[in-house]
């Protein structure tokens, strides 16, 4: 047995204790434990690794933006030990052969554990893709997305997903309400993709909520929260919709779908997050190359990178007193793990020993130069973050003193 000692987040609070690990799993949590190898982190925090249920690693097909290796290394450095990767890769993952192709393309290349989404097009045979971890539906078009917006297609798809028992994550923007015009600013982009489009899509999903396990992705405005509360559907909010808004001078670097909205919207989402009213934090890590973002606002693709900065910025906000640690632990770790059937996200007996060691005295400022993704930019330059000093993946020390120390050992996850 190996032992990791420190100030653990265990049973809802921080306590000085030891985690015993065998075969990659947590086998006991005690005040004192003896082990073959003993890692003592003193009064540093030992937290569960984050589970990011929404990333775009661009592999295969757009590996100039990111690939599975760079994206997952970025996740590791951000304390994210498990990611669920979206299907809008090239070719799109919308049937069994394309899922298999992607599975083979990324096998053995990840630094963290991962699951793969299967996308649903109007022609997808949902049951034939049952080896995906969860499904994804785009009700509104976005970067390289495969649309599913007609009512009968949506009904058929959600019914079929319901039979699989898996979760379906939905990009909820009503296609018919999105406008195309010459966009020059974040405000134009917001006007083209109005909040009513999100509200309408969420309302449409409401009628299927007892048929399938629906997860609404990247909620962008507080009105959607009111609709979703108590609906039985789960949902995600991104760091960018809580920390950035369309009045900021970000240009195309802040272009994303759904769009950044007003300052009041961002503040309301952040306040809801801090109060524990948002089930899941998801980064929607969607990197694009410098040259692509510099093409001029109208031409630039939508998407913001964030898998490395999301958990780390939120930890800094905990340290600054904006929210209790417990709230972040639920939204970034335990709820995404439970929602997606992963044996992760908590320090508890039987769970995978995915642990992140953080020193709350080591607040740093984000700098694009020091991040590990391929795109080389971040809209969070200069913001405070608490990056992990050490990370254990299934009990194995994979990051020490802020640097990766072993070979890549990420695996495709199974349902718990
Ligand atoms: O802004 C976005 N970028 N929204 C999406 O839905 C897709 C993503 C991407 O893949 O770039
Ligand atoms: Zn996305």
| CA 220 to ligand 1 center in whole angstroms | 14
Choose among 282, 198, 194: nearest CA to 240.
Answer: 282
At residue 416, the pLDDT reads: 53
Question: Which ligand places an atom closest to the C-alpha of 54?
Answer: 2
At residue 415 the predicted structure's pLDDT band, cuts being 50, 70 and 90, is: low
CA torsion sign for 220, 221, 224, 230 is positive
Cα 53 to ligand 2 centre (Å): 10
Active site residues: 284
The reported pLDDT for the residue numbered 57 is 98
The pLDDT tens digits of the residues spanning 39-98 come to 999 999 999 999 999 999 999 999 999 999 999 999 999 999 999 999 999 999 999 999
Cβ atoms of 393 and 113 closer than 8 Å: yes
For residue 407, what pLDDT band results from cuts at 50, 70 and 90? confident
Residue in the structure block whose two tokens are 């044996």: 343
The model's confidence at residue 404, banded by pLDDT at 50, 70 and 90, is confident
226 pLDDT exceeds 90?
A: yes
Distance 228 CA to ligand 1 centre (A): 22
pLDDT tens figures, 241-265: 999 999 999 999 999 999 999 999 9
Q: How far is 127 from 154, CA to CA, in rounded Å?
A: 15
| 70 touches ligand 1 (CB under 6 Å) | no
CA distance 189 to 250: 12
Q: Closest Cα to atom 4, ligand 1: which residue?
A: 257
The atom of ligand 1 lying closest to the CA of 301 is 11
Ligand 1 binding pocket includes 256 (Cβ within 6 Å): yes
Q: Are the C-beta atoms of 266 and 243 separated by less than 8 Å?
A: yes
What are 270-329's pLDDT values in tens digits? Answer: 999 999 999 999 999 999 999 999 999 999 999 999 999 999 999 999 999 999 999 999
* Nearest atom, ligand 1, residue 288 CA: 11
Distance (Å) from CA 303 to ligand 2 centroid: 8
Over residues 344-402, the pLDDT tens digits come to 999 999 999 999 999 999 999 999 999 999 999 999 999 999 999 999 999 999 999 98
In degrees rounded to 5, what are phi and psi of residue 31? -60, -45
Centroid of ligand 2 to alpha carbon of 127 (angstroms): 23
Cα distance between residue 395 and residue 4, in whole Å: 9
Whether the CB of 62 sits within 6 Å of ligand 1: no
Report pLDDT digits (tens) over 315-336: 999 999 999 999 999 999 999 9
Question: Ligand 1: which atom is nearest the Cα of residue 255?
Answer: 1
* pTM greater than 0.85: yes
Q: What are phi and psi of 399, to 5 degrees?
A: -140, 130
Residue 286 Cβ inside 6 Å of ligand 1? The answer reads: yes
Tokens representing 103 are 């599975």
Q: Are 266 and 244 in contact (CB under 8 A)?
A: yes
Q: Where are the beta strands (DSSP E) in 110-254?
A: 113-119, 134-138, 167-171, 213-216, 234-237
Distance CA 258, CA 247 (A): 16
Distance CA 76, CA 112 (A): 6
Q: Any residues with CB less than 8 A from the CB of 267 and at least 6 apart, and which?
A: none
Pocket test for ligand 1, best of 173, 236, 301, 375 (most atoms within 8 A of CB): 301
Taking the C-alpha atoms of residue 287 and residue 294, their distance in angstroms, rounded to an integer, is 13
Q: In sequence order, which ranges of 21-150 are alpha helices (DSSP H)?
A: 68-77, 96-106
Q: Is the CB of 224 under 6 A from ligand 1?
A: no
Q: Give the sheet arrangement for strand 355-358, strand by strand.
A: 25-30, 13-22, 2-10, 37-48, 355-358, 390-393, 396-400, 403-404
Tell me which of 303, 304, 373, 379 to substitute to probe ligand 1's pocket, judged by most ligand atoms within 8 Å of the beta carbon. Answer: 303
| CA–CA distance, 4 with 17 (Å, rounded to integer) | 9
Using the mean position of ligand 2's atoms as its centre, give its distance from the Cα of residue 201 in Å: 16
| Contact 143 CB / ligand 1 (< 6 Å) | yes
**Element (DSSP H or E) covering residue 290:** helix 290-293
Beta strand pairing call for 13-22 and 2-10: antiparallel
Evaluate: CB of 88 within 6 angstroms of ligand 1.
yes
CA-nearest residue, atom 3 of ligand 1: 303
Q: What is the pLDDT of residues 174-207, one digit of tens each?
A: 999 999 999 999 999 999 999 999 999 999 999 9
What digits encode the pLDDT tens for the residues 234-245?
999 999 999 999
**Angle CA 111–112–116, to nearest 5:** 115
Nearest residue to 77 (alpha-carbon basis) of 408, 407, 404: 404
CB of 220 sitting under 6 A from ligand 1: no
pLDDT in tens, 121-154: 999 999 999 999 999 999 999 888 899 999 999 9
* Maximal CA-CA distance, the chain: 65
């Amino acid at each position: 047995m190996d032992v990791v000692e420190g100030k653990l987040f265990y049973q809802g609070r921080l306590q000085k204790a030891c985690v015993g690990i065998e075969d990659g799993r947590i086998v006991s949590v005690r005040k004192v434990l003896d082990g073959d190898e003993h890692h003592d982190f003193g009064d540093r925090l030992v937290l569960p690794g984050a589970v990011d249920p929404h990333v775009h690693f661009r592999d295969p097909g757009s590996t100039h933006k990111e690939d599975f290796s760079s994206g997952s290394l970025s996740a590791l450095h951000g304390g994210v030990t498990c990611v669920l990767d979206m299907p809008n890769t090239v070719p799109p993952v919308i049937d069994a052969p394309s899922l298999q192709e992607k599975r083979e393309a990324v096998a053995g290349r990840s630094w963290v554990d991962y699951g793969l989404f299967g996308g649903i097009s109007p022609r997808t045979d949902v049951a034939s893709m049952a080896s995906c971890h969860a499904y994804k539906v785009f009700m509104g078009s976005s970067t390289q997305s495969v649309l599913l917006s007609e009512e009968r297609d949506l009904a058929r798809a959600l019914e079929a997903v319901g039979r699989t028992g898996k979760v379906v994550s939905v990009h909820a923007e009503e296609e018919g309400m999105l406008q195309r015009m010459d966009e020059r600013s974040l405000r134009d982009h917001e006007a083209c993709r109005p909040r009513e489009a999100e509200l309408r899509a969420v309302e449409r999903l409401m009628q299927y909520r007892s048929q399938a396990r629906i997860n609404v992705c990247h909620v962008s405005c507080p009105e959607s929260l009111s609709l979703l509360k108590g609906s039985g559907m789960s949902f995600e909010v991104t760091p960018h919709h809580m920390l950035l808004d369309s009045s900021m001078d970000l240009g195309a670097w802040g272009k994303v779908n759904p769009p950044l909205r007003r300052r009041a919207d961002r503040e309301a989402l952040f306040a809801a997050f801090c109060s524990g009213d948002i089930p899941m934090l998801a980064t929607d890590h969607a990197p694009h190359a410098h040259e692509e973002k510099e093409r001029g606002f109208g031409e630039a693709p939508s998407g913001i990178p964030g898998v490395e900065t999301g958990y780390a910025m939120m930890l800094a906000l905990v340290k600054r007193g904006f929210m209790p640690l417990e709230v972040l632990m639920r939204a970034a770790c335990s709820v995404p793990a439970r929602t997606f059937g992963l044996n992760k996200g908590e320090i508890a007996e039987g769970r995978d020993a995915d642990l992140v060691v953080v020193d709350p005295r080591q607040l740093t400022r984000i700098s694009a130069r020091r991040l590990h993704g391929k795109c080389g930019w971040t809209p969070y330059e200069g913001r405070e973050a608490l990056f992990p000093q050490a990370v254990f993946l299934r009990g194995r020390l994979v990051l020490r003193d802020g640097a990766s120390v072993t070979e890549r050992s990420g695996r495709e996850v199974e349902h718990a």
